[in-house]
Structure 1
């Protein structure tokens, strides 16, 4: 059958048939390739459509260059091994497959989206499936005609069709075999649409060549190949690239396709450079070269520098267990150099438990990479509020929408230079494609969730050494996700480093086993040895999967024993006076003689109350004795983002090493905070007062006390003879109802009461660090008689943990070894990304506290100087970067339950719903009366108001 576009004039039909003739896939009579079947139209002028065949060849060129210039050598080898072929052949296959990814757009349903398509030349068949589903379904039947086996445990026809059908981030169900149901019965009759699909397949095959089918395609390899094709598709779908291709002229005959492909190949390297996609050179050298300012490495750092290179013969997992402030970060960055080089993965991702800790780590890692990188490289900061960080992106605006801000991808050694690449790197889901990245652990765990585009994140991790800091912070649900992620990273031969100061020995073994199981180790292998504290273990991801422990005991920084004093006070009943008095008694000497202390409360409301009472008390007491009142600082999560960042920077500078060295450390200061400061916040206080918490968290908090004593940069007050931790505990030790309800919601009562009894059993004996740390951490769980009065609590906790682990397993992708035929199991079509979570019970909504005057106008500030952005100022209606930043920098996270049933009160302007960053923000409108009084919103029985010093306050 000869087909011509409905827009082709009759006089040109004969020449069109002659010039565009090519044989279809089954070798029948020549037919015409229709260049009017379009692949891209969004953003183009109304009368311009980009031919589908051109987009297919563009994607092929991008995949080819990505494989050659971007994909890490270790990733190439892992993919090739999963396909039972060579690296070169794997690259040829991926280049070819990329040219098939959108062939499903040749249907009436897709082409009918654009009124200029030549629909009158084609039958108006209804096809309700998305074009990505068409790709998966159609190719499963067609690829066997081209030498792809359709049967067997990992049939290449089935797996290739599935991975190509997943290029929109979700995989589709499939028939068990291609012969189970005729293709016609699935809605693909032998009509004009079928002819064009086969003609396009034949055309790209003629231009690219058709590589021989692989022997097999296993699930993990298919997942990475799918992600690589997604990456290629995203790159060449940018309007800037399509515009350049249009400017170069479109092919008129099939003979022009080779020239179009060559032009795409020539443009793609610059496209990758603009996006910040390269292949970083391995960082090599000694520990001294990596950290020239460290004159003498400590025991941990020295041990790894001396022994890790000898045992690191390929990919593997390093677990480091060492006390707080022992230089684990520097040790990990050096180890990542060694491990990344051995595994062929020169990139780096450092995962932290919170956004605040990620922001702190970004600055440190950035400085390290500026010294160590041997070529221009890109680096991203990955969490939902990252682009508000002024160290990451300068606070200057240009007119593009926030979603179009690019990440730092320098053309020189500067790591924070912006490049104009649309959504690239800073765009959603793309930040892990950067050479280096720092972010929250959630960004890594999303690769292990059955959510859309999880394979994109997995590919981003695959080319890096993945460092997970504070791994002990994972609860039972998150631990299930971490272990599943380690399964996959082990299978993909990705080097991993786990860091912890307080990790239970069974959890350490579980993490190592998960990685080695993914790598292929069987249960019958040698048992995983116990990591001695402090110490490290290195597990090789290749047979026979040996696990090497540090060969000699680690010398650690000499520390004075930690005095732990338990103050038992009445914590329930609504009267906070006993607790307030206890805290004041502990801080009395500080007010009189000076010094710095931190008070950690369990909830934001408790921290706000304690801050108010301490500020009033300390000022009155100082005035009574004629002393200068101490500085008062408050830090918790419920401050506006910009204010919280400013407070964090101030306390780190004032109470950390810089303040001591620069002489700006205050004479007297009291920091009241929530658990936000217990991890990776580099401050040093003379005294720490804390609510009762599980022992491993108390030890983490104690890491902020006398943190830099070994550096001899601090002068301690006379009352501080050594590091001291005061624990505020219930006056009835074994009574669950003596614990505040909020504490029981955050920590299981079993853990709190067991910790209390563990501390009572020690009878005030100091805690030696590191000698006593592992004993305390293990003992809280392992000792059977720590909660003799309520053993049912321990059983309840164990059952709860088991249930949460099961929930984590259900949310996670299946183990890599079980993905043999069905990629559909990797994603879930019944949920969207907003419905899956990396943390159990995560229910947080960001709100904006805004102000309404008598005339009902909405303002961002109390002074009514900055109007609430309600509509984009640009001609296209989009919000500018400054507008979005103005909102998000003032946003506050709150429990989602606070807003339930109050949509009318909290709904954002309708124009926000089209903006990725603003659409989920809710408004807390503060009314300003005529006399200037501010009235916060009343949501049910909860009155909320934003206080300048306290943050968002909940009344009632």
Structure 2
């Protein structure tokens, strides 16, 4: 298209040259004009502002800009339209064959900058022409925010010469005229909004997330191909305005197809929300009675109560109250593990189906499930995703709240109106990593619920505290749930939220916000005035809890042979009543290897019992994903509430051998709990699976089960009685030695006294840390404290700055003050792992996916040109096993890496392949890889 020589009389600048392009990939040899993409992004931001952002988030943003919502929306639309103005440079435009002879100059030498960085460097000098203060805070933050739309923020530009534009590569008047023409085109289309009086860093980071979302929505190939058929005839103001208006009408359908419409619930009492419950229990009734008058704006609610006390239902109700009070209908529920997230996703979907408004209308909303393996969950992910880059597929008839192709894309899940995921998904918002602003934006319009808040190590606690500071700054309401939360952690979490809300660090001279934890009970923190209200403040009577029989706790010494526990005699004694009379028991071991050993031990014993033998189950993390999911579903079905109600609960007898994977959020009820020694809070969590549903009167206990009982296995201490107790290295590699010693001493001192629940729980949890007389090994205690300090120090280096330290500069959100690879950032300390796929090799050298050698090992996928389809990837990844990284990983050979065709798939390229040799007789033999032997046993999982 030829360049226009005429000028636009309104501004005295030439009209835009439509040859300047923004998109070309996937457009069948055509290019999409830069000005059209800029206007699309501006229109998308305006539609998102009015139709996607929650009312509460709009108010928070507008208030921080010291303006009204309409003006704020038009300002943000204007800014969004400028995000790619850095593409109007020679270095970008010359990436494809285009005639630039009419635009001489700006030939850069040296390292090429990104177009996002160019945007951030040019805008500080261009925005003042529209009334933005030269060198002002708002001007700098807008430029930095838009320069960070690819996920990384750049420093404010500094210059050394009198001609900074030329210094930054903007030297040609021909290019400058076109950039200013684009600036004015977007400015005119968005209503020529005047600059806001104020903008701060936390708000700018959230707005950046909105800009990124707008850009992603209008960058889809299907959308661009459709708009290519109706491009403006020229770069005149009227033609561009018409394009903008058409985009405004077209973009709402993108929200529909992406599943971005809000999920809202009408006001309701607790009883109306949960009609299946006969009546609320004491905790639920207290919250339902007192919180409505306290929840008048943003705040935090901490709920502490024993296991099985209905905290989940309480959290749903509290989230509804806080969401209504703050104008934030969105939800994010954070769980400690993928398995617990899967279960919570199912529960929340059932709640949403019952409670959501307009359930009889076609839905365009998603209730997302967020963790690395969520796409394998058939209850969430579409059967086969044709591609995560497009959303313009026909919605058709689908399950309400089901996943959309678009939201299944990387980094997009938190943008769903409601979501359930691992806590890592939220904590990544405060790591100094790319697109953390997008995650903050995804959380900012929601009520954030953190379940099992006690399940964080010192490293994760620092991340959670920083997340709470940012959520407090952004007026985001929070609900924290815990059954075993130490009072100091409760205090730190509440204090962090208040620091964010009040914009300053807590003064040590001020009284602590949580002097003690009411257990069971709750507290409410008003973010605006800083007032903390505990349940005991509004009702002096203790909260009634479900009647429970005292928990019998017995320490049982286990003989030690060659540094390992010999559990055979002890388990035979403890399980004999079950073998004779039936019932259900669980045995929790510290490591996978120990669980596999106990399973072997019981298998041999039960094999001698014939048809009268109890059923035996094994669950740990080293099963193939599909098998682990099936085992989890089976044990929940048998040992859970539904199994008891339907008669599927084992009556002949059943024993579950497991690791820590069953101690959180799984609905299990056993007659006897046997556990290796662990920190007391975890023992109480495990005990919460013992007689869990007794109050429902649905379980017929065997005669030998008189009351809930926790048998704690401890190594027999044959040494000097005055010495600190000894524990195996396998245990101290999982838990700090000092906590094992303190718990051991604490339980010994109780001398078999039963644990009253809830009366004794908080005291036990606090004492194991606070009672210095339990520290029989000062060296171990000092080592524990040193390790905790080291973890907290590493976490402080990984997290983004405090909100008040980012008031005028966003660079610290993604830049380190020291050299570090972004990929080493993690939400959990020392949690690096890889996914292993075991395959089978017969004597002829053929490769198979199953030990029977019936499923061929796929060298390529079933898709076009041998590519792997989503169904192919699902089948392969469902066979993988997570394995912790270690020295073995540095000894892998080429045989352990995926074939070439696999490396083109995001889901397959990083798998580690472990061969398993199959004999002519069908036996599977262990294989040496990376200096260790590997064997995938069909019953016991992966064995090292």
Q: Relative to 1, partners in 2 of residues 1:86 and 1:581: Cα closer, same or farther, differing over 3 Å?
A: same
Q: Relative to 1, partners in 2 of residues 1:413 and 1:527: Cα closer, same or farther, differing over 3 Å?
A: farther
Aligned to 2:521: 535
User: Take 1:203 and 1:178, find their aligned partners in 2: how far apart are those partners?
Assistant: 31
User: Take 2:31 and 2:153, find their aligned partners in 1: how far apart are those partners?
Assistant: 28
Residues 406 and 427 in structure 1, CA contact (< 8 A), matched pair in contact too: no
TM-aligned CA deviation for residue 827 of structure 1: 0.8
> Aligned pair 1:442/2:424, yes or no?
yes
Give secondary structure in 2 for the equivalent of 1:793. Answer: helix
> Aligned pair 1:545/2:531, yes or no?
yes
User: Take 1:163 and 1:79, find their aligned partners in 2: how far apart are those partners?
Assistant: 14
Query: Out of 765, 784, 790, which is 2:753 matched to?
Result: 765
Aligned to 1:774: 762
> Aligned pair 1:182/2:164, yes or no?
yes
Give secondary structure in 1 for the equivalent of 2:500. Answer: helix
TM-aligned CA deviation for residue 544 of structure 1: 4.5
User: Take 1:120 and 1:835, find their aligned partners in 2: how far apart are those partners?
Assistant: 47
User: Take 1:780 and 1:408, find their aligned partners in 2: how far apart are those partners?
Assistant: 56
Aligned to 1:882: 871
Aligned to 2:91: 109
Q: For 1:244-287, what per-residue CA distance to the aligned partner results, in whole angstroms no more than 9, with x for missing partners? A: 11122344232311111111111001111111112333431011
Query: Out of 720, 726, 729, which is 2:714 matched to?
Result: 729
Query: Out of 579, 591, 594, which is 1:606 matched to?
Result: 594
Aligned to 1:312: 295
Q: For 1:637-696, what per-residue CA distance to the aligned partner results, in whole angstroms no more than 9, with x for missing partners? A: 010011000000000000111111111111200000000000001000000110110000
Aligned to 2:662: 677
User: Take 1:831 and 1:144, find their aligned partners in 2: how far apart are those partners?
Assistant: 36
The residue correspondences of 1:69-148 to structure 2 (distance < 5 A) are 69-116=51-98, 118=100, 121-123=103-105, 125-126=107-108, 128-148=112-132
Give secondary structure in 1 for the equivalent of 2:797. Answer: helix
User: Take 2:411 and 2:726, find their aligned partners in 1: how far apart are those partners?
Assistant: 46
Q: For structure 1, which segment, 339-348 or 735-744, has the greater mean C-alpha deviation from structure 2 after superposition?
A: 735-744
> Aligned pair 1:712/2:702, yes or no?
no
Q: For structure 1, which segment, 208-217 or 169-178, has the greater mean C-alpha deviation from structure 2 after superposition?
A: 169-178
> Aligned pair 1:749/2:737, yes or no?
yes
Aligned to 1:583: 571
> Aligned pair 1:651/2:664, yes or no?
no
Q: For 1:390-432, what per-residue CA distance to the aligned partner results, in whole angstroms no more than 9, with x for missing partners? A: 22235x336x24x45979998889425454xx4x211111111
TM-aligned CA deviation for residue 179 of structure 1: 8.6
Give secondary structure in 1 for the equivalent of 2:234. Answer: coil
TM-aligned CA deviation for residue 592 of structure 1: 1.2
User: Take 1:924 and 1:902, find their aligned partners in 2: how far apart are those partners?
Assistant: 10
Query: Out of 860, 882, 896, which is 1:906 matched to?
Result: 896
Aligned to 1:486: 468
Aligned to 2:922: 932
> Aligned pair 1:865/2:849, yes or no?
no
User: Take 1:306 and 1:286, find their aligned partners in 2: how far apart are those partners?
Assistant: 9
Residues 472 and 499 in structure 2, CA contact (< 8 A), matched pair in contact too: yes
User: Take 1:113 and 1:583, find their aligned partners in 2: how far apart are those partners?
Assistant: 71
In structure 2, the gaps of 5 or more residues are none
Q: Relative to 1, partners in 2 of residues 1:368 and 1:656: Cα closer, same or farther, differing over 3 Å?
A: same
TM-aligned CA deviation for residue 242 of structure 1: 0.7
Aligned to 2:8: 22
Aligned to 1:837: 826
Residues 160 and 222 in structure 1, CA contact (< 8 A), matched pair in contact too: yes
Q: Relative to 1, partners in 2 of residues 1:568 and 1:70: Cα closer, same or farther, differing over 3 Å?
A: same
Aligned to 1:3: none
Aligned to 2:183: 201
The residue correspondences of 1:515-534 to structure 2 (distance < 5 A) are 515-520=497-502, 523=506, 527-529=512-514, 530-534=516-520
Residues 813 and 827 in structure 1, CA contact (< 8 A), matched pair in contact too: yes
User: Take 1:409 and 1:75, find their aligned partners in 2: how far apart are those partners?
Assistant: 30
TM-aligned CA deviation for residue 936 of structure 1: 3.8
Q: For structure 1, which segment, 910-919 or 436-445, has the greater mean C-alpha deviation from structure 2 after superposition?
A: 910-919
Q: For structure 1, which segment, 225-234 or 565-574, has the greater mean C-alpha deviation from structure 2 after superposition?
A: 565-574
The residue correspondences of 1:129-168 to structure 2 (distance < 5 A) are 129-151=113-135, 155-168=137-150
Aligned to 2:680: 695
User: Take 1:409 and 1:426, find their aligned partners in 2: how far apart are those partners?
Assistant: 16
Q: For structure 1, which segment, 817-826 or 537-546, has the greater mean C-alpha deviation from structure 2 after superposition?
A: 537-546
> Aligned pair 1:169/2:157, yes or no?
no
Give secondary structure in 2 for the equivalent of 1:425. Answer: helix
TM-aligned CA deviation for residue 137 of structure 1: 0.8
Q: Relative to 1, partners in 2 of residues 1:176 and 1:124: Cα closer, same or farther, differing over 3 Å?
A: closer
Give secondary structure in 2 for the equivalent of 1:938. Answer: strand
Residues 502 and 530 in structure 2, CA contact (< 8 A), matched pair in contact too: no
User: Take 1:186 and 1:660, find their aligned partners in 2: how far apart are those partners?
Assistant: 71
TM-aligned CA deviation for residue 934 of structure 1: 2.6
Residues 276 and 408 in structure 1, CA contact (< 8 A), matched pair in contact too: no
Query: Out of 269, 289, 305, which is 1:322 matched to?
Result: 305
Residues 408 and 415 in structure 1, CA contact (< 8 A), matched pair in contact too: no
User: Take 1:66 and 1:263, find their aligned partners in 2: how far apart are those partners?
Assistant: 15
The residue correspondences of 1:626-665 to structure 2 (distance < 5 A) are 628-665=612-649
User: Take 2:867 and 2:99, find their aligned partners in 1: how far apart are those partners?
Assistant: 29
Residues 220 and 389 in structure 2, CA contact (< 8 A), matched pair in contact too: no
Q: For structure 1, which segment, 631-640 or 205-214, has the greater mean C-alpha deviation from structure 2 after superposition?
A: 205-214
Q: For 1:757-780, what per-residue CA distance to the aligned partner results, in whole angstroms no more than 9, with x for missing partners? A: 000000000000000000100000
Aligned to 1:348: 331
Q: Relative to 1, partners in 2 of residues 1:863 and 1:119: Cα closer, same or farther, differing over 3 Å?
A: farther
Q: For 1:814-836, what per-residue CA distance to the aligned partner results, in whole angstroms no more than 9, with x for missing partners? A: 11111022201001376565321
Aligned to 1:809: 796
Give secondary structure in 1 for the equivalent of 2:862. Answer: coil
Q: For 1:164-199, what per-residue CA distance to the aligned partner results, in whole angstroms no more than 9, with x for missing partners? A: 011001101123589987221122213433332222
Aligned to 2:484: 502
Paired residue total: 922
Q: For structure 1, which segment, 407-416 or 909-918, has the greater mean C-alpha deviation from structure 2 after superposition?
A: 407-416
Residues 304 and 485 in structure 2, CA contact (< 8 A), matched pair in contact too: yes
Aligned Cα root-mean-square deviation (Å): 2.3
Residues 598 and 673 in structure 1, CA contact (< 8 A), matched pair in contact too: yes
Residues 380 and 407 in structure 1, CA contact (< 8 A), matched pair in contact too: no
Aligned to 1:944: 934
Aligned to 2:254: 271
Q: TM-score, structure 1 length as denominator?
A: 0.93
Query: Out of 616, 621, 635, which is 2:604 matched to?
Result: 616
Give secondary structure in 1 for the equivalent of 2:915. Answer: strand
Give secondary structure in 2 for the equivalent of 1:348. Answer: strand
TM-aligned CA deviation for residue 148 of structure 1: 1.4
Residues 604 and 636 in structure 1, CA contact (< 8 A), matched pair in contact too: yes
Residues 599 and 670 in structure 1, CA contact (< 8 A), matched pair in contact too: yes
Query: Out of 544, 548, 553, which is 1:559 matched to?
Result: 548
In structure 1, the gaps of 5 or more residues are 1-6
> Aligned pair 1:233/2:220, yes or no?
no
Q: TM-score, structure 2 length as denominator?
A: 0.94
Give secondary structure in 2 for the equivalent of 1:132. Answer: helix
TM-aligned CA deviation for residue 108 of structure 1: 2.0
Q: Relative to 1, partners in 2 of residues 1:123 and 1:479: Cα closer, same or farther, differing over 3 Å?
A: same
Query: Out of 792, 812, 815, which is 1:828 matched to?
Result: 815
User: Take 2:807 and 2:402, find their aligned partners in 1: how far apart are those partners?
Assistant: 43
Q: Relative to 1, partners in 2 of residues 1:134 and 1:932: Cα closer, same or farther, differing over 3 Å?
A: same
TM-aligned CA deviation for residue 635 of structure 1: 0.3
User: Take 2:545 and 2:712, find their aligned partners in 1: how far apart are those partners?
Assistant: 26
